[in-house]
Structure 1
Amino acid sequence: MKLSLCMIVKNEEATLRDCLHSVKDVVDEMVVLDTGSTDRTVEIAQELGANVYFFEWCNDFAVARNEALRFVTGDWVIVLDADEKLKPEIVPLMRQAMQNEQCILINLIRHEVGAAQSPYSMVSRLFRHHPELYFTHPYHAMVDDSVAELLEKQPNWQILELAEVAISHEGYTEQAIGAQNKFNRAASAMEAYLSQYPNDPYTCSKLGALYVRSGKIERGIQLLEIGLRGVPSWRTRKPVEVPVLYELHYHLGIAYSRIGKASQAKSHYLAAMEMPVLPYIKLGTYNNYGNLLLETGDITGAIIAYTTVLELDPTLATAHFNLGIAYKDKGQLQDAIKCYRQAIALNPNFAEAYQNLGVALLKAGNVFESLDTFREAITRYEEQQSPAAAKLRQSLKEMGLRI
């Protein structure tokens, strides 16, 4: 059974080599469609054995991805972006799932490296090379719509999900977003699509979340609510629509939290938790729900939520940090100290964790160790050019502590 890599690129010399190395021994062919690179992207792709084709960029990712799909010859297709890498541990599970003759689509878990909110997402990137499957949506292009259409005509097809992380993605760190001006490009493309399809739940979800993240919360909520009305209940929807409904509730929880409407936020987080999606995908919801409970005084509930996160992913430094805050608020200083130390072990540049650890150590009577920890916090803040460094220095000075 032949597997083909299918991807579109433009000026990706910084990341393309690592991406192709992660998959070149897994796939039988690599199809790379260049949309106007002016750097060494094409040379790198050719050096690593990819079949490179060319296409003039038209501001529509679906059109470009469908053009790339024209050159694929494999039985199955895996889609990657240049800032993604396939994890080798997932390959045996992929091959096993591809043997299922009734399977049309295999959803994969993607690790969003550096994501401030949800560290994992579900992406429809592995699918059978079928003549009726194609990409839609000019931004965040996906094959899900065509899969849904095919299922309407041939309900014998199945959609599978792999429960292990398959892809690591570094394109949504703050640095990457700023460098590529992704906010503006994404908003422009999706607004244009919504002018033609004003109630499309998927686009409402993606664009609404984008606006919430960029601070345009009212517009974000408006779009997310419109999208929610378009997918009323997962119990009566098609399987491909369930992840969209989950994201709508999840992002509404974030939006309402940011404007101080705790009751609405809680309702949407609980609805998101109810969705039949893989537990990994719900990590952001559990974590944010814990934050909400902590803010509203339910410390015990927050501890349960953070503990749930860590049971799913014990490597998530933010969850250890949040659990530390909850234990500190409950007066359990030693438990808090342990959590802060674990957060720092997982993320040595976690300035806030150093600061909170310093506070907890000071309250526990470990003055000298707390001062060393505060120094570490200030160093990390200064490396990040954060004004928190000066604020912490001033606070310690007012307390009579010398750093």
Structure 2
Amino acid sequence: MSLSLCMIVKNEAATLPKCLNSVRKVVDEMVVLDTGSIDRTPNIAQQLGAKVHHFKWSNDFSAARNAALKYVTGDWVLVLDADETLTPGIVPQLREAIARDEYLLINLVRQEVGAEQSPYSLVSRLFRNHPDIRFDRPYHALVDDSVSAIVNKEPHWQIGYLPGVALVHTGYQKSAIAQNNKYAKAATAMEGFLATHPDDPYVCSKLGALYVETGKITEGMELLRHGISVAEENYDILYELHYHLGIAYSRLQKSPQAISHYKAAIKLPIYPMLKLGAYNNLGNLLKAAGDFNGAKTAYATTLKIDPNFVFGHYNLAMTFKALGLFTDAIVYYQHAITLNPNYAEAYQNLGVVLLKVGNHQESLTAFRKAIALHERYNPEEAKRLRQGLQEMGLM
């Protein structure tokens, strides 16, 4: 089975090379639709072997993605954005999946680098080059509705997913959001869609979450509650709706309601890796309420799902520290540091517990590493920590 990469781009010269290099030895062709770049994006795409086409931007992501699909010739289509890369380890599974006869669409797990809330998401980015598959919605464009319509008419098709992280996405980092004015663009596009599709649970989830993120909490919660009332058994969207209501109630400092929504999200029958955010946030609320055993269970569950979940190791260490179990805390701080060598807070708290168990030399080493990292990312905290250690006579 031949595989085509299909992309829409605009002014992506900084990120496009890494994206294309992650897939160019995996796919049989790379189709890039430029929507009005004024930088070197089209030239970079051509130099890396892509077929470049052009499209006048109309403030509608679906229109652009559907225009790009017209140029694809492969049996299967892989859709990426320029701020995404394909993970090398997923390639054997991907090849095996598209060789099977029963799949129409295969969902992919995407790691959200820098996202403050959801570390993973499930995206419908790998599908057959079927004439009736098309994107819908002007923002957060999806093929899901057209795929569902095909499956209803042609029930022999199946929808699957690849276990493990397939895509790495850097677009949710704060710098990227601010640079590209993503929030404002997203809100404008989704508000227009909502006006004509008020009972669409997906846009209720995405726009409601965006409102909560940008401080319009009341409006966001209204949309999220409405989404729950119309989502029926769409479990992936129900998870997101409950999850973001948990965040909203947390911001209003209404912990019992937040805990209730996180627990409702966790109970839903969806891919376990997608639940990491809910388990982690639930643990944070339980720890803040003094329920350290409940928090420990929640954090431990995140590590059963994903042993490489850095925040799970760190938060479990913080819980052990609060319980006075310093030896266990040290182990999990060290795990977090192994997974993220630039984790200043982990070094800092490791220094604290090492000091408590009397290991002054290693404690000082950990504190010095924390200060060095804070000086790069948070100079005020570096200054505060150094002063505190000097007052204690440790420096």
- Alignment TM-score, normalising by the size of structure 2: 0.95
Once the two structures are superposed, what CA deviation does each residue of 1:202-241 show, in whole Å capped at 9, x if it has no partner? 1111122222223332222222112111113x2xxxxxx3
Say whether 1:138 aligns with 2:138: yes
Matching residue of 1:154 = 154
Indicate the larger mover: 206-215 or 273-282: 206-215
Say whether 1:351 aligns with 2:338: no
Q: Cα distance, 1:373 vs. partner?
A: 2.6
Once the two structures are superposed, what CA deviation does each residue of 1:32-57 show, in whole Å capped at 9, x if it has no partner? 10001111111111112211110111
Once the two structures are superposed, what CA deviation does each residue of 1:283-339 show, in whole Å capped at 9, x if it has no partner? 111111111211122211211111121122222221111001100111101111221
Matching residue of 1:237 = none
Say whether 1:219 aligns with 2:211: no
2:154, 2:264 → 1: CA distance?
31
Say whether 1:91 aligns with 2:83: no
Q: Which amino acid aligns with 1:135?
A: F
Q: Which amino acid aligns with 1:400?
A: M
Q: Percent identity?
A: 58
1:372, 1:21 → 2: CA distance?
39
Correspondent of 2:392 among 374, 385, 400: 400
**2:72 is paired with a residue of what secondary structure?**
coil
Q: Cα distance, 1:394 vs. partner?
A: 4.5
**1:136 is paired with a residue of what secondary structure?**
coil
Matching residue of 2:77 = 77
Q: Which amino acid aligns with 2:129?
A: H
Matching residue of 2:55 = 55
Indicate the larger mover: 79-88 or 353-362: 353-362
Q: Which amino acid aligns with 1:7?
A: M
Q: Which amino acid aligns with 2:328?
A: D
1:391, 1:193 → 2: CA distance?
48
Matching residue of 2:277 = 284
Q: Cα distance, 1:115 vs. partner?
A: 2.3
For structure 2, the residue ranges without an aligned partner over 5 or more in a row are none
Say whether 1:335 aligns with 2:328: yes
Q: Cα distance, 1:26 vs. partner?
A: 1.7
Once the two structures are superposed, what CA deviation does each residue of 1:245-286 show, in whole Å capped at 9, x if it has no partner? 111111112221222222221221122112222111111111
Matching residue of 2:258 = 265
Matching residue of 1:208 = 208
| CA RMSD, Structure 1 to Structure 2 (Å) | 1.8
Indicate the larger mover: 199-208 or 121-130: 199-208
1:161, 1:332 → 2: CA distance?
40
Alignment coverage as a number of residue pairs: 395
Correspondent of 1:251 among 216, 241, 244: 244
Indicate the larger mover: 256-265 or 381-390: 381-390
2:385, 2:345 → 1: CA distance?
11
1:194, 1:131 → 2: CA distance?
27
For structure 1, the residue ranges without an aligned partner over 5 or more in a row are 235-240
Question: For residues 165-184 of structure 1, what are the structure 2 equivalents within 5 Å?
Answer: 165-184=165-184
Matching residue of 2:104 = 104
Matching residue of 1:373 = 366
**2:8 is paired with a residue of what secondary structure?**
strand
**1:97 is paired with a residue of what secondary structure?**
helix
- Alignment TM-score, normalising by the size of structure 1: 0.93
